[in-house]
Amino acid sequence: MKKRWQQELYSLLKCFVFAFIIVVICRNFLFSPSVVHGESMSPTFEDGNKVILSKISDIEHFDMIVFHAPDQDANYIKRVIGLPGDTVSMKDDVLYINGKAYTESYLKENKLGATTAKLTGDFTLEEETGEKTVPSNSLFVLGDNRLKSKDSRDFGFISDKSVIGKVVLRIYPLNEIGLP
């Protein structure tokens, strides 16, 4: 009887160790949770929202990413606007990537509530960063709350090595669980 109890305990311990190893591997290499701080991505994400990041997904235009802030000891969440080789400009609240105009539907609510004529001031990539195109291994990012966002217009390009992951799922608040 005692031998069987020891075998069961050993078996249970092996399961817990195996599960722990799987969780550590997933968290460090595949997925990671993150908490949104601040209002720079409002209304897409609000302060205190919790998200899941994919560490293996390819990053494309308009994806939301979390990265190590280049100007302080914190993590930022922003939207990817420019990928390596892209030209980026803004004119009369219209975003141009490589000369093509894009409608930023996620800004609609902010535009309605804006107290200024333009939500995003006019700029070119060269005016903001001194570069005509986004350099290799770099990204140009903007917050959705353009009037209150500290982003690439302030600190320039971010290194792709500083990216923690791409936002793939909102998990809190519970009534907003789902894809971003």
Q: Which positions are catalytic? A: 40, 78
d(CA 30, CA 18): 17
d(CA 68, CA 28): 16
Contact 131, 96 (CB under 8 A): no
d(CA 92, CA 12): 63
Cis geometry, peptide bond prior to residue 135 (ω within 30 degrees of 0): no
Rounded-to-10 torsion of CA 142, 143, 145, 150: -90
Place of tokens 């190590």: 68
**Among 168, 173, 176, CA closest to 65:** 168
